[in-house]
Amino acid sequence: MTIKLFSIAMLSALFLTACKDKPREENSEVITPVSAETPADDIVTTSSTSKDGKELNMTFNNTKGMAIVDFEGETIEMEQQRAGSGIWYKNDQYELRGKGNDITLTKDGTVVFEHKDDIQNIEAKNNNSQVLNLTFNNSDGTVKAYLNGGDQIDLKEKKAASGIWYSNDNYELSGKGDHYTLKKDGKVVFQN
């Protein structure tokens, strides 16, 4: 009986070893999985105008870390650099830096294009101890309003007969001189 068990164990071992060492076929086909879709590059296009009317058109490929700038008939490609904040791109001749809407393009160290937003900050107070802080961006016709240090309220400029008028879906800011009225859904929430 021990001889039968020994023979079965040996045959099993030979069988397992033979399966393990099976030679590979030379013409075997390798199948590599293909993704359903190759992700598209993250492209952002914007433009800016300087005080003297020059236009700078910019296309940023955030996936590849590249910027393509069209300025005065010249197309300039630059690579992204590590910036503390804002953007920074450069090549051997040009350098593009910016933060928010402010943009500076230099060529060989000389500024050839610059845009800086016209920003004005105002703090208005009323007799009820309410404070309305306003940050006007006169370059793009917007205002950020903060009532008593609360949430930011973004408003867009509207055409006013006189004074100022800004609004969004819920809020309306109007004013003349140093007097401001902020309404929420038609109800006055601040007036000085």
The pLDDT value recorded for residue 32 is 53
pLDDT of 36 reads 56
Is 17 contained in some domain?
A: no
Predicted pLDDT at 5:
46
* Residue listed under structure tokens 């920074």: 88
The Cα 172–Cα 178 span in angstroms is 16
- Among 115, 147, 167, the domain boundary falls at 115
Q: Which pTM value belongs to this model?
A: 0.57
Do 143 and 181 lie in a common domain? yes
pLDDT confidence of residue 17? 56
Does 4 map to a domain?
no
The pLDDT, as a whole number, for residue 109 is: 94
The per-residue DSSP string of 25-85 comes to PTTPPP-----S-PPPP-EEEEEEE-TTS-EEEEEEETTTTEEEEEETTEEEEEEE---SS
Does 84 lie in the same domain as 127? Answer: no
Asked if 47 and 101 sit in the same domain, the reply is yes
93 half-sphere exposure, CB direction, 13 A CA radius: 7
DSSP conformational letter for 139: T
- Is 18 domain-assigned? no
Residues (pLDDT < 50) of the chain are: 5-6, 21-23, 25, 28
Query: What CATH number corresponds to the domain at position 131?
Result: 2.40.128
Query: In the prediction, which pLDDT does 140 show?
Result: 85
